[in-house]
């Protein structure tokens, strides 16, 4: 039983309640078409995406998942200028609430022989062996340039974790996530298993994801071998608040999503504390920090 989107809620309310939402048609068909052209150039083939696979793109080691293509950087950063996306950002953060910072990366996930048809039963958050922000200043926006199908290497969400994890962090600020070892067992014992939601997209759809919601990247084992061809971005707010009054009627959807456990008053500057935590992590041995899928690059350009 997979999680079903509650269509009685607006996308903003869905984000508040479940920690994620899908905005249909946030990118125009024209932009998606241009995007595919740009991705085609960057991966070095004229073949349509449906015919890309891990051999063609020489992405066999990563099971077909590619999260960095420097040549695409200028294009993917234009995602913020698309009217549908600008509208989503303003809805979530309020007028003038966006910092203007652009953190976007291409994400491709192509068919690879031997991949299993499954979605991960468990999720992670993007704060690995480091303090997890209780309030934070950003959410993730992943937009698809293509129609995908089940098991086409899509991102999977573990709805509701944003409330559960924040409640834990409010009591236990040093609770953290690790990919492996005993700490991961603690994480698994603590975070409940929930029905996952797999983002099977139509071209132009955008998935918005709370920073505390569990998620997972999957490998591509789709029947029709449709790849995931997406733009993965961070939407960073201008303000990083240290307190939120849950009773206020004028909270943006973003702030409401952070006040689901009631009002919060941290009593310290979380932006500074988070920066210090990252600094401390950098000073630990670098091989302690697990590689994330989004670090993966194409090995060598594919043949034309
Ligand atoms: O496959 C995805 O979109 C998720 C990737 C991810 O969660 C990560 O690299 O941290
Ligand atoms: Fe992640």
Q: Which atom of ligand 1 is nearest the CA belonging to 230?
A: 3
Number of neighbours of residue 7 by Cβ within 10 angstroms: 8
Query: What distance in Å separates the CA atoms of residue 231 and residue 273, rounded to the nearest whole number?
Result: 29
Strands 138-144 and 65-66: unpaired
> How far, in Å, CA of 36 to CA of 1, rounded?
33
Number of residues assigned to the chain: 304
Tokens representing residue 21 in the block: 């939402």
Classify residue 4: in a domain, yes or no: no
Indicate whether 8 belongs to any domain: no
Q: Taking the alpha carbons of 124, 129, 130, 132 in that order, is the dihedral positive or negative?
A: positive
Could you tell me which residues come within 8 angstroms of residue 152 by beta carbon, excluding any fewer than 6 positions away? Answer: 109, 200, 220, 222, 225, 226, 227, 228
Q: Give the residue ranges of DSSP H helices in the chain.
A: 11-18, 29-43, 73-76, 83-93, 161-171, 181-190, 253-257, 270-283
Tell me the CA–centroid distance for residue 126 and ligand 1, in Å: 8
| Residue 234 to residues 12, 216, 267, 303, Cα–Cα distance (Å) | 17, 16, 26, 32
Rounded to an integer, what distance in angstroms lies between the CA atom of residue 13 and that of residue 6? 10
Secondary structure class of 185 (helix, strand, coil): helix
Cα–ligand 2 centroid distance for 250 (angstroms): 30
292 CA distance to ligand 2 centroid (A)? 7
* 60 located within any domain: yes
Helix axes 83-93 and 11-18, enclosed angle (nearest 10): 50
Largest CA distance in the chain: 59
Is the separation of the CB atoms in 59 and 69 below 8 Å? no
Residues 204/25, Cβ–Cβ less than 8 Å = yes
pLDDT for the residue 287: 57
The burial of 50, by beta-carbon neighbours within 10 Å (0-12 exposed, 13-18 middle, 19 or more buried), is given as middle
Domain count within the chain = 1
Please tell me the distance from the alpha carbon of residue 38 to that of residue 296, in angstroms, as a whole number: 19
Residue 7 lies in a domain: no
The pLDDT value given to residue 298 = 63
Minimum-distance ligand 1 atom for the alpha carbon of 154 = 1
Atom of ligand 1 nearest to the CA of 142: 3
Q: Is residue 187 part of a domain?
A: yes
Ligand 1: nearest atom to the Cα of 67: 9
User: For residue 249, how far is its CA from the centre of ligand 2 (angstroms)?
Assistant: 32
Provide the whole-model pTM. 0.94
How is residue 148 written in tokens?
């995908």
Query: What is the per-residue pLDDT for 36?
Result: 98
What 3-state DSSP class applies to 204? coil
Q: How far is the CA of 216 from the centre of ligand 1 (A)?
A: 6
Cα 111 to its chain centre, rounded Å, is 20
Residue 11 falls within a domain, yes or no? no
Which residues of the chain are modeled with pLDDT < 70?
285-304
Is position 66 within any domain?
Answer: yes
The predicted pLDDT at position 185 comes to 87
R_g (Cα) of the chain, nearest Å: 19
Which is the closest atom of ligand 1 to the Cα of 215? 7
Ligand 1 binding pocket mutation candidate from 292, 296, 297 (most atoms within 8 A of CB): 292
Counting ligand 1 atoms within 8 A of each CB, the residue from 104, 205, 217, 233 with the most, and so the one to mutate, is 217
Main-chain phi, psi angles of 98, to 5 degrees: -85, 140
The b/e string for 145-158 (b: 16+ C-beta within 10 A; e otherwise) is bbbbbebbbbbbbb
Which range of residues forms the domain containing residue 206?
19-295
- Predicted confidence at residue 304, as pLDDT, reads 40
CATH of the domain at 98: 2.60.120
Task: Ligand 1: list residues with CB < 6 Å.
Answer: 107, 126, 142, 155, 215, 217, 232, 292-294
- Locate 231 and state its tokens: 């733009």
Is there a domain that residue 3 lies in? no
């Amino acid at each position: 039983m997979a999680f079903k989107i509650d269509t009685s809620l607006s996308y903003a309310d869905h984000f508040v309640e479940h920690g994620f939402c899908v905005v249909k048609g946030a990118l125009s068909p024209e932009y998606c078409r241009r995007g595919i052209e740009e991705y085609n150039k960057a991966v070095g083939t004229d073949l349509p995406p449906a015919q890309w696979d891990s051999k063609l793109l020489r992405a066999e080691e990563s099971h077909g998942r590619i999260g960095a293509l420097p040549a695409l950087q200028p294009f993917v950063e234009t995602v913020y200028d698309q009217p549908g996306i600008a509208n989503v950002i303003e809805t979530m953060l309020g007028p003038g609430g966006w910092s203007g910072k652009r953190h976007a990366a291409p994400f491709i996930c192509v068919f690879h022989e031997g991949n299993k048809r499954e979605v991960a039963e468990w999720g992670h958050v993007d704060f690995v062996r480091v303090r997890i922000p209780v309030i934070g200043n950003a959410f993730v926006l992943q937009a698809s340039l293509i129609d995908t199908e089940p098991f086409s290497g899509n991102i999977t969400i573990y709805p509701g974790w944003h409330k559960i994890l924040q409640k834990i962090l409010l009591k236990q600020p040093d609770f953290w996530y690790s990919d492996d070892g005993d700490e991961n067992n603690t994480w698994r014992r603590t975070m409940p298993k929930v029905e996952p939601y797999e983002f099977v997209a139509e071209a132009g759809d955008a998935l918005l994801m709370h920073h505390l919601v569990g998620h997972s990247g999957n490998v591509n084992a789709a029947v029709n071998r449709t790849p995931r061809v997406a733009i993965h971005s961070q939407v960073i707010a201008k303000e990083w608040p240290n307190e939120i009054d849950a009773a206020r009627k004028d909270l943006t959807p973003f702030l409401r999503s952070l006040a689901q456990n009631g009002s919060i008053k941290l009593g310290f500057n979380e932006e500074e504390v988070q920066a210090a935590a990252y600094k401390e992590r950098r000073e630990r041995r670098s091989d302690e920090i697990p590689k994330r899928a989004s670090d993966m690059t194409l090995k060598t350009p594919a043949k034309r």
